[in-house]
A = this chain, B = another copy of it.
Amino acid sequence: MVFVHLYLGNVLALLLFVHYSNGDESTDPGSQRRTQSPRPVSTLGPLTRLEGIKVGYERKVQLVTDRDHFIRTLSLKPLLFEIPGFLSDEECRLIIHLAQMKGLQRSQILPTEEYEEAMSTMQVSQLDLFRLLDQNHDGRLQLREVLAQTRLGNGRWMTPENIQEMYSAIKADPDGDGVLSLQEFSNMDLRDFHKYMRSHKAESSELVRNSHHTWLYQGEGAHHVMRAIRQRVLRLTRLSPEIVELSEPLQVVRYGEGGHYHAHVDSGPVYPETICSHTKLVANESVPFETSCRQVPPTPVPLTPGNLGSFCPQVNLWECLQLGTRSEAPLPYSYMTVLFYLNNVTGGGETVFPVADNRTYDEMSLIQDDVDLRDTRRHCDKGNLRVKPRQGTAVFWYNYLPDGQGWVGDVDDYSLHGGCLVTRGTKWIANNWINVDPSRARQALFQQEMARLAREGGADSQPEWALDRAYSDARVEL
């Protein structure tokens, strides 16, 4: 039986909670802060970026002392590379072992009641909502226009069938053509919709992300293999040690049989501490640095269709809104993703880049009424590029374009990627996200503050890594 997972409701709910710190910050990063900063800020050198040359180009690199590695260009859009044998089989097994000792948690939980609660106090009219959703301005809501709103959603993944079932259940589409006219949309009673949503529980296969994961510490005092991998990534990326060391810890992910991760872009950091380190510095630079800021809630600001337009000009309402709720201050960017395959997968589990090296990028052309290329359970075979998991192989890519001044610029839409359905066996991977602040000056300030903290012994006192420290001498027993 198919459950229905329409996320319109969640989108609406978020409208109430979103706070916009500064809509233009990302296009002109740091200009404000730079002048306000009371402390001298050192300037950072240009962000390194490997040359792609062309698809299939191979270069030899020395990442470890005892062997050479070859970096192969897989695509230019996104700038994507593959390095076979980046990790040894022993290292792969050790990472899995450490993750298992630490324990993995579900990567995504189902939407909570707070969303539904918020729905009842909406400030956006049904007409305004229709206009926001009607991307092609033809006065009708195509299935794909509704599908477009699930991307990166925290909740359930929508398929065209889900939407049509819901329409049918709440009688939203009397003529059954899958398209809602403004009249049909206006006639829809959102309470029916909420009721329908509550009555259908999603299974894990119906989520955006169906996996378990944990985080492994890679900082000072970590397991020597974790340190060695961080150093290897440093040599691979040719970035400064500060940037790599201050990025997120290693995320280890297990996809069971039936696991998947629908296509998304790694635009922001996923580990809250990393966000908050940056955020704190920006929000109030005189406040002493704190490693965690989960306790600081975002300030709710009413959102109107008027200010929404300027903040969320793109089709991706959901992603934009979700980003808005994360923090009051601009987030650091996931400049690069380094993904490690920790085992050979018996069936499926490829990493797909649906639009890699496409001539043009058009978000809406990804999503057709029948085929949604972001759907990694159904349509991986139609994506432009698939990487097959092979134990020890690493792939890495740049989620952001350069800004032309040696720093990070706009997100690279072509970096859209996902984890295909694991049809047989288990898939283990790990991710290193290299975070960079969109403001060069703020990144410099962040590094400066973190260095000060380290000198003052603050780094050692981080309580969340106690478990990792206990395992720092762990070995794999085979």
Contact B54 A410 (CB under 8 A): yes
With an 8 A cutoff between CB atoms, is A471 at the interface? no
Q: In the assembled complex, which residues on chain B have CB atoms less than 8 Å from the CB atom of A55? A: 360
Contact B53 A402 (CB under 8 A): yes
Q: In the assembled complex, which residues on chain B have CB atoms less than 8 Å from the CB atom of A54? A: 401, 410, 412
Q: In the assembled complex, which residues on chain B have CB atoms less than 8 Å from the CB atom of A77? A: 76
Chain A 356-412 interface residues, beta-carbon cutoff 8 Å to B: 357-360, 384, 401-404, 409-410, 412
Q: How far is the CA of A174 from the CA of B339 in the complex (A)?
A: 59
With an 8 A cutoff between CB atoms, is A57 at the interface? yes
Chain A 54-103 interface residues, beta-carbon cutoff 8 Å to B: 54-55, 57, 59, 76-77
Q: In the assembled complex, which residues on chain B have CB atoms less than 8 Å from the CB atom of A357? A: 359-360
Per-position binary interface string of chain A over residues 134-171, scored 1 when its CB falls under 8 Å from any chain B CB and 0 otherwise = 00000000000000000000000000000000000000
With an 8 A cutoff between CB atoms, is A51 at the interface? yes
Contact B359 A57 (CB under 8 A): no
Contact B359 A402 (CB under 8 A): no
Contact A51 B402 (CB under 8 A): yes
Q: How far is the CA of A404 from the CA of B412 in the complex (A)?
A: 22
Q: In the assembled complex, which residues on chain B have CB atoms less than 8 Å from the CB atom of A57? A: 404
Contact B59 A404 (CB under 8 A): yes
- In the complex, which residue of chain B has the Cβ closest to the Cβ of A355? B359
The minimal Cβ–Cβ distance linking A267 to chain B, given in whole angstroms, is: 16
Contact B359 A53 (CB under 8 A): no
Oligomer copy total: 2
Q: In the assembled complex, which residues on chain B have CB atoms less than 8 Å from the CB atom of A401? A: 53-54
Q: In the assembled complex, which residues on chain B have CB atoms less than 8 Å from the CB atom of A410? A: 54
Determine which of B59, B359, B402 lies in contact with A358 in the assembled complex, contact meaning CB atoms within 8 Å: B359
The minimal Cβ–Cβ distance linking A412 to chain B, given in whole angstroms, is: 8
Q: How far is the CA of A359 from the CA of B383 in the complex (A)?
A: 12
Q: How far is the CA of A410 from the CA of B409 in the complex (A)?
A: 28
Q: How far is the CA of A57 from the CA of B412 in the complex (A)?
A: 13
Determine which of B59, B384, B403 lies in contact with A359 in the assembled complex, contact meaning CB atoms within 8 Å: B384
Q: How far is the CA of A54 from the CA of B384 in the complex (A)?
A: 19
The minimal Cβ–Cβ distance linking A383 to chain B, given in whole angstroms, is: 12
The minimal Cβ–Cβ distance linking A399 to chain B, given in whole angstroms, is: 14
- In the complex, which residue of chain B has the Cβ closest to the Cβ of A410? B54
Q: In the assembled complex, which residues on chain B have CB atoms less than 8 Å from the CB atom of A403? A: 53
Q: How far is the CA of A403 from the CA of B53 in the complex (A)?
A: 7
Q: How far is the CA of A57 from the CA of B357 in the complex (A)?
A: 17
Q: How far is the CA of A53 from the CA of B358 in the complex (A)?
A: 15
Determine which of B358, B360, B384, B404 lies in contact with A51 in the assembled complex, contact meaning CB atoms within 8 Å: B404
Q: In the assembled complex, which residues on chain B have CB atoms less than 8 Å from the CB atom of A402? A: 51, 53
Q: In the assembled complex, which residues on chain B have CB atoms less than 8 Å from the CB atom of A53? A: 401-404, 409
Q: How far is the CA of A401 from the CA of B51 in the complex (A)?
A: 10
Most buried by B among A54, A59, A360, A409: A54
Q: In the assembled complex, which residues on chain B have CB atoms less than 8 Å from the CB atom of A358? A: 359
Q: How far is the CA of A359 from the CA of B357 in the complex (A)?
A: 5
Q: In the assembled complex, which residues on chain B have CB atoms less than 8 Å from the CB atom of A51? A: 402, 404
Chain A 4-50 interface residues, beta-carbon cutoff 8 Å to B: none
Q: In the assembled complex, which residues on chain B have CB atoms less than 8 Å from the CB atom of A412? A: 54
Q: How far is the CA of A341 from the CA of B285 in the complex (A)?
A: 53
Q: How far is the CA of A108 from the CA of B165 in the complex (A)?
A: 67
- In the complex, which residue of chain B has the Cβ closest to the Cβ of A54? B401
The minimal Cβ–Cβ distance linking A371 to chain B, given in whole angstroms, is: 18
The minimal Cβ–Cβ distance linking A413 to chain B, given in whole angstroms, is: 9
Chain A 336-368 interface residues, beta-carbon cutoff 8 Å to B: 357-360
The minimal Cβ–Cβ distance linking A178 to chain B, given in whole angstroms, is: 30
Q: How far is the CA of A342 from the CA of B269 in the complex (A)?
A: 50
Q: How far is the CA of A59 from the CA of B401 in the complex (A)?
A: 14
Could you show 20 A-B contacts with beta carbons less than 8 Å apart? Answer: A51-B402, A51-B404, A53-B401, A53-B402, A53-B403, A53-B404, A53-B409, A54-B401, A54-B410, A54-B412, A55-B360, A57-B404, A59-B404, A76-B76, A76-B77, A357-B359, A357-B360, A358-B359, A359-B359, A359-B384
Other A-B pairs, 15, CB within 8 Å; known A76-B76, A359-B359: A51-B402, A51-B404, A53-B401, A53-B402, A53-B403, A53-B409, A54-B401, A54-B410, A54-B412, A55-B360, A57-B404, A59-B404, A357-B359, A357-B360, A359-B384
**10 A-B pairs with the lowest CB-CB distances in the bound complex, closest first:** A357-B359, A53-B401, A59-B404, A53-B404, A54-B401, A51-B402, A51-B404, A53-B402, A358-B359, A359-B359
